[in-house]
A and B are shown apart, each in its own frame.
Chain A
């Protein structure tokens, strides 16, 4: 063996590639026959249960609140079921190896959300296009169609890495749109809406996806200089001053959102997203130290200079103080939500049988306490479990990703959902101060639905690209 040298690389290659290519092809065919879309069949099975759950929730709402079954809303919901089936069929064709869990879980959450919004509509006596549930059903349809289009159009998500600076520009434009005179709208103090005629939209919801793409693309190229160089202070390696640029820019952007759009939740979400992605990219704890420090500085400054931040903190700490409870913009909403969940107890009052409509914004910001009241602790823990599964699938996809961009994007998108759930649920349960963010898939609101179904589409596309690596 030792006295023989290897044949010249070229000659050996030509021979080997020919034979091995042939073997690869036959292997691929064999795998295709032996493993006929096992993942997709699992997905279909779970999807059927998801339909039963979503439809069952709606029927229960009607039995509880109306004491009869009204077929019309059920037919509309069935239409959405057909659209999720269409998404499933599209996956069978263009993304056979995509994750099987994400779509059914998102369907259950979306269905529960529609049922609860419908329940609040019944309590408020709304019908037709005045009813938030009708609009929610329409937006779900649009969101599903956009998700299908995204999966069909984006065949290779790595192409997105090339458009990272375009994504950044889009994110900035979307963020600034609500500040433009004429189309910007201020609702409840927060300038995060744009409106044309009767239609309104929260562009910040889509901006978070564009930002995740930008961060993933940027960190993919910059991770080495961000992680390797720097000097050590107290055993933690800190980056060079010039490498701090991007994190300061993102921080400044979030502070601008905080000051001019008066939206605490969104700025925390964006900054948290960036922090997590930079930590994943570099594995350096110093970024977390710097980031948390910046949040602390920003938070303290905001508390002392911005009245609405101060009111939020007071309503959080002194929620049960009668003066705060009765004050305008006080803790009435928080306390009602807490009472509602307490009323629900372990098993809940039953769908359609509680009084969640007493709480302001019971169908959007406060949909979690509404569900907590009517489904009880058992139901709310199940819902949190569904979110946990969704986020863990995203992290798992990122973990298995073959390249840095896939990894960062997968984890980043999953983290957006996770952080949003934490901020909302933490806010309504008085763990952290209340901030206005939407509960993914559940809360009434078209922009949020659209953005979250786009995230689902991207995660499905990502998971298809890590094919054959033992998912399920």
Chain B
């Protein structure tokens, strides 16, 4: 094998090594820029969103009379219905983001809670966020130290807007889109 071929193979090897690294970095680009959607996916996401806001009142409607639900659906569409995430804004786990499942989220000290808060002020089943009539609603589950929405202790199910703060113990969180 000639000298020249060997040099070319050597440099080719280094080039391949770097190519490997760049392929890895390219495949990690969504870490930096967020996932890119193809046009088809974008349509799917949009239709899923509109379907969600249309289908969601169904469980609530089963409990109450239908006509009011229909009128309310139009009025409340700008409310917290689109919230999909819970972001902890202060407290020991500040900065944590969770997905808000359509089923709602239980909050408490017990390990079965959707959002587990471990401090001395939180009861094991403290509160619950549920979807009711196009809105996310916080219910206090008889906690010892209470649940506060916008600084006021709640005694019954209270609707939460996107961006308004909910405090439990030393932890404050809000709903985000």
Chain A interface residues (CB < 8 Å from chain B): 1, 4-7, 9, 11-13, 15-17, 19-21, 23-24, 42, 46, 49-50, 52-53, 56-57, 60, 63-64, 67, 100-101, 104-105, 108, 223-224, 227-228, 347-348, 350-351, 375-376, 378-379, 382, 385-386, 389, 396, 402-403, 470-472
- The answer to whether A382 and B14 touch across the interface, beta carbons within 8 angstroms, is yes
Which residues of the partner chain B approach A6 to less than 8 Å between Cβ atoms? 130, 132, 137, 139, 156-157
CA distance A378 to B68 in the complex (A): 70
A222 to chain B, nearest CB (A): 11
User: 1/0 per residue B1-37: CB within 8 Å of A?
Assistant: 1000011011101101111110111011011001100
Which residues of the partner chain B approach A379 to less than 8 Å between Cβ atoms? 14, 17
A-B contact pairs, 25 of them (CB 8 A): A5-B156, A6-B132, A6-B156, A6-B157, A7-B63, A12-B130, A13-B130, A15-B59, A15-B62, A16-B59, A16-B103, A20-B101, A21-B103, A46-B23, A49-B20, A52-B16, A104-B20, A108-B17, A223-B92, A224-B118, A224-B119, A375-B14, A382-B21, A386-B21, A470-B35
* Given A6-B137, A15-B62, A386-B21: A60 in contact with B13 (beta carbons within 8 A): yes
Residue of A56, A67, A100, A105 touching B16 (CB-CB under 8 A): A56
Which residues of the partner chain A approach B72 to less than 8 Å between Cβ atoms? 1
- The answer to whether B103 and A49 touch across the interface, beta carbons within 8 angstroms, is no
Tell me if B128 is interfacial: C-beta within 8 Å of chain A: yes
Interface of A is mostly: helix
- The answer to whether B14 and A378 touch across the interface, beta carbons within 8 angstroms, is yes
Residue of A63, A385, A471 touching B31 (CB-CB under 8 A): A471
CA distance A394 to B94 in the complex (A): 21
- The answer to whether B24 and A101 touch across the interface, beta carbons within 8 angstroms, is yes
Which residues of the partner chain A approach B21 to less than 8 Å between Cβ atoms? 382, 385-386, 389
CA distance A257 to B102 in the complex (A): 53
Given A12-B63, A46-B24, A382-B17, 11 more pairs with CB closer than 8 A = A5-B157, A9-B139, A53-B20, A56-B16, A105-B24, A108-B17, A350-B6, A351-B13, A379-B17, A403-B116, A470-B34
* Given A101-B24, A101-B28, A389-B24: A23 in contact with B102 (beta carbons within 8 A): yes
Interface residues of B in 153-177 (CB under 8 A from A): 156-157, 159
Interface residues of B in 35-91 (CB under 8 A from A): 35, 58-60, 62-64, 68, 72, 75-76
Interface residues of B in 107-166 (CB under 8 A from A): 116, 118-119, 128, 130-133, 137, 139, 141, 156-157, 159
Residue of B23, B75, B128 touching A49 (CB-CB under 8 A): B23
B70 to chain A, nearest CB (A): 13
Residue of A7, A15, A16, A57 touching B13 (CB-CB under 8 A): A57
A232 to chain B, nearest CB (A): 18
CA distance A425 to B135 in the complex (A): 56
- In the complex, the chain A residue whose C-beta lies closest to that of B48 is A27
- The answer to whether B6 and A63 touch across the interface, beta carbons within 8 angstroms, is yes
Which residues of the partner chain A approach B20 to less than 8 Å between Cβ atoms? 46, 49-50, 53, 104, 108
CA distance A378 to B131 in the complex (A): 57
Which residues of the partner chain B approach A376 to less than 8 Å between Cβ atoms? 14
- The answer to whether A351 and B92 touch across the interface, beta carbons within 8 angstroms, is no
- In the complex, the chain B residue whose C-beta lies closest to that of A17 is B103
Which residues of the partner chain B approach A396 to less than 8 Å between Cβ atoms? 31
A-B pairs with lowest CB-CB distance, top 9: A6-B157, A7-B63, A350-B10, A20-B103, A382-B17, A16-B59, A378-B14, A385-B21, A49-B20
* Given A49-B16, A60-B13: A1 in contact with B133 (beta carbons within 8 A): yes
Which residues of the partner chain A approach B18 to less than 8 Å between Cβ atoms? 378, 382
CA distance A63 to B13 in the complex (A): 13
CA distance A21 to B75 in the complex (A): 28
Which residues of the partner chain B approach A12 to less than 8 Å between Cβ atoms? 59-60, 63, 130, 132
- The answer to whether A4 and B16 touch across the interface, beta carbons within 8 angstroms, is no
Which residues of the partner chain B approach A100 to less than 8 Å between Cβ atoms? 27
Which residues of the partner chain A approach B131 to less than 8 Å between Cβ atoms? 16
B108 to chain A, nearest CB (A): 14
A400 to chain B, nearest CB (A): 10
Which residues of the partner chain A approach B35 to less than 8 Å between Cβ atoms? 470
- In the complex, the chain A residue whose C-beta lies closest to that of B62 is A15
CA distance A302 to B2 in the complex (A): 55
A16 to chain B, nearest CB (A): 5
CA distance A387 to B63 in the complex (A): 57
Which residues of the partner chain A approach B7 to less than 8 Å between Cβ atoms? 350
- The answer to whether A42 and B27 touch across the interface, beta carbons within 8 angstroms, is yes
CA distance A57 to B16 in the complex (A): 11
Which residues of the partner chain A approach B102 to less than 8 Å between Cβ atoms? 20, 23
- In the complex, the chain B residue whose C-beta lies closest to that of A407 is B96
- In the complex, the chain B residue whose C-beta lies closest to that of A469 is B99
Which residues of the partner chain B approach A53 to less than 8 Å between Cβ atoms? 13, 16-17, 20
Which residues of the partner chain A approach B128 to less than 8 Å between Cβ atoms? 9
CA distance A67 to B156 in the complex (A): 83
B26 to chain A, nearest CB (A): 10
* Given A224-B118, A224-B119, A379-B17: A351 in contact with B10 (beta carbons within 8 A): yes
CA distance A46 to B24 in the complex (A): 8
- In the complex, the chain A residue whose C-beta lies closest to that of B95 is A283
CA distance A223 to B119 in the complex (A): 11
Residue of B10, B11, B58, B64 touching A7 (CB-CB under 8 A): B64
